[in-house]
Amino acid sequence: MSDTQPAHHTKHLPVLAYPFNNVAFHLVQRDDGISNGTALWLGAQVLSVYLSAEFKGKSKTIETGTNNNISVLYDTARPKAVELGSGIGLMALALASLGYDVLATDTMHVCASVLRSNINANAHLVPGRVHVRELDWGVNSTEWKWDDHVSITSPAPLPRRGDDGRDFLAPPFDLIVSSDTIYDTALVAPLFETIHALSALSSTTPISLPSSLSSIEASPAPPSKSSGTPTYKPPIIYLAVERRDPTFITATFRRAGEEWGLLFQRVPEKRLRRAGVGVGWDAGEWDGVEVWRGRWDGVTGAVK
């Protein structure tokens, strides 16, 4: 991070030349007073650096199915991530640089004003694909549309590319990420309901996990080797938050587990520092920024 500045020092800049993993993303941002999502925030910076260190050099081979209990089929295609509240697109591009195909989502305003143009301008710099689509957290998952190239949740009919679903990123996802999205009590339930729905859609059959958060540290398991439809563990979830109100943040993560079965554990600060977070910054520049790692328990809120 030594070549970057903390986000709160750069919000006045209309374009950021942002170095990441030997490339430089050029990211437009806006201080338009309409949405917080049109500018860069600290959480996205911290999470992108941490995940870059966590995922760098790890195999991207995914086991995808079985053939009558005899031969296991392997798919060497890139794993898939979905981001909630992508903002100006730094996190989505960071994951794409690590080999993920990414579904970057936000409000229609953010998608149209900064996100889509930033992804298009930097797509040639990363090996993974990034698709941009609106995802309104207030729309029930039963109404989501995965074959629309503009919006997953818009109630208005939108033009489509065609009937070939290969043009679209859809569940199952291997990873769910979000940063700087836990700051308003009114957004907590919609956010976690969306994460829960994406987790369930990415798990062909719900799989129970131990109540202990230690199970979260394991890598996602491959599909079941039994015949028929393969089963998957729910995707890993990473959230980056700023602890402006400690009581609110603590209560929010407790509620995530109790109401939605989303079990989280905070990543220790020393682990973030080992990953390179804060290098080159003055002490205190990212105080209060936390990364939480979690997974749906596979049971709470599952359709019976």
Can you give the pLDDT at residue 224? 41
Question: Please, what is the Cα angle at 33 between 47 and 158, to 5 degrees?
Answer: 80
Give Cβ neighbours of residue 256 (< 8 Å, ≥ 6 apart). 192, 262, 263, 264, 294
Can you give the pLDDT at residue 58? 60
Give Cβ neighbours of residue 161 (< 8 Å, ≥ 6 apart). 149, 167
Residue 176 structure tokens: 């769910």
Q: Tell me if 49 sits within 8 A of 238, measured CB to CB.
A: no
Can you give the pLDDT at residue 57? 65
DSSP 3-state assignment of 16?
Answer: strand
- Cα separation, 46 vs 51, in Å, equals 9
Can you give the pLDDT at residue 167? 64
Can you give the pLDDT at residue 47? 98
Average pLDDT by stretches of 10, the chain with 304 residues: 87 94 94 85 97 77 39 58 98 97 97 97 97 96 92 71 58 97 96 97 58 39 42 90 95 97 97 95 93 95 64
Q: Would you say how long the chain is, in residues?
A: 304
If we measure between CA atoms, which residue out of 248, 121, 247, 132 comes closest to residue 184? 248
In the DSSP assignment, the letter for residue 10 is: T
